[in-house]
Amino acid sequence: MTRPKAEPAGPTGPAGQPAGPPRVAMAGIAKRFGDVVANDAADLELAAGEIHALVGENGAGKSTLMSVLYGLLAPDEGEIRVDGQPVRFRSPVDAVEAGMGMVHQAFRLFPSMTVAENVVYRAETRGTAGLLDRRAAVRAVQDLSERYGLRVDPQARVRSLSVGVLQRVEILKALHRDAQVLILDEPTAVLTPQETRLLFDVLRGLRDAGRTVVIVTHKLGEVLELSDRVTVLRDGRTVARLVTAETTGAEIARHMTGRAVDLDGHHVPGTPGAPVLHVEGLTVGPPSGRPVVDDVSLSVRAGEIVGIAGVAGNGQVELLEAIAGLRPARDGSVRVGATLLDGYSAGRRREAGIAYIPEDRAATGSAVAASVADNLAIGFHRRQPLRKGWRLDRGAVREHARRIIEHFDIKVSSPSVPAGTLSGGNLQKLVVGREMAHDAPVLLVDQPTRGVDIGAIENIHARLRAYRDAGHAVLLASAELSELMALADRLLVMFGGRVVADLARADATEENVGLAMAGLATREVAS
Partner 1 sequence: MTTTPTAPATTPAGRVRAVLRSPILLSVLGALLIGAVMLLGAGGNPFEAYAAMVEGAFGPTQWRNTLIVAVPVVGMALAVAVPLRAGVVNLGGEGQIVLGGITAAVVAAGVDLPAPLSLVVALGAGTLAGALLGALPAVLENRLGVPLLVSSLLISYPVVALASYLVRFPLRDPGTGLPQSRVFDEAYRMPVFAGIGLSALILVVVIALVVQVDSRTPFGYEVRLTGHNRRFTEYAGVAVPRMVTRLMATGGGIAGLIGAMVVTSVPYRFIDGALVVPAYTWTGLLAALLARANPLGAVAAGVFFAALQVGGFGMERETEVPRELSSILQATVIVILAATVAATARRARTRKDAA
Smallest separation, CB 381 to partner 1 (Å) = 5
Of 424 and 455, nearer to partner 1 (C-beta) is 424
Smallest separation, CB 67 to partner 1 (Å) = 6
Smallest separation, CB 64 to partner 1 (Å) = 6
Of 151 and 388, nearer to partner 1 (C-beta) is 388
Q: Is 21 exposed, middle or buried (0-12, 13-18, 19+ CB in 10 A)?
A: middle
| Max CA separation in the chain (angstroms) | 82
For residue 499, what are the CA distances in angstroms to 292, 293, 338, 522? 12, 9, 24, 10
Of 224 and 326, nearer to partner 1 (C-beta) is 326
CB of 483 within 8 A of CB of 506? no
Smallest separation, CB 418 to partner 1 (Å) = 9
Of 341 and 488, nearer to partner 1 (C-beta) is 341
Going 97 to 187 to 44 to 84, the CA torsion angle's sign is: negative
Of 159 and 388, nearer to partner 1 (C-beta) is 388
Q: Is 437 exposed, middle or buried (0-12, 13-18, 19+ CB in 10 A)?
A: middle
Smallest separation, CB 76 to partner 1 (Å) = 12
CA distance 59 to 160: 34
Smallest separation, CB 106 to partner 1 (Å) = 11
Under 8 Å CB-to-CB from 289, ≥6 apart: which residues?
Answer: none
Torsion of CA 345, 351, 352, 356, to 10 degrees: 80
Of 115 and 354, nearer to partner 1 (C-beta) is 354
Under 8 Å CB-to-CB from 283, ≥6 apart: which residues?
Answer: 291, 293, 294, 295, 296, 329, 330, 331, 332
Q: Are strands 229-234 and 51-55 parallel, antiparallel or unpaired?
A: parallel
Smallest separation, CB 374 to partner 1 (Å) = 6
Of 177 and 398, nearer to partner 1 (C-beta) is 398
Total number of residues shown for the chain: 527
CB of 92 within 8 A of CB of 68? no
Of 203 and 401, nearer to partner 1 (C-beta) is 401
Spatial CA neighbour of 438 closest among 470, 477, 391, 479: 470
Smallest separation, CB 473 to partner 1 (Å) = 19
Smallest separation, CB 432 to partner 1 (Å) = 14
Q: Which residues form the interface with partner 1 (CB under 8 A)?
A: 33-36, 38, 58-59, 63-64, 67, 72-73, 324, 326, 345-351, 356, 358, 363-370, 374, 377-379, 381-382, 386-387, 390-392, 413-414, 416-417, 421-424, 427
- DSSP string over 361-381: TTTTS--TTSBHHHHHHTTTT
Of 144 and 452, nearer to partner 1 (C-beta) is 452
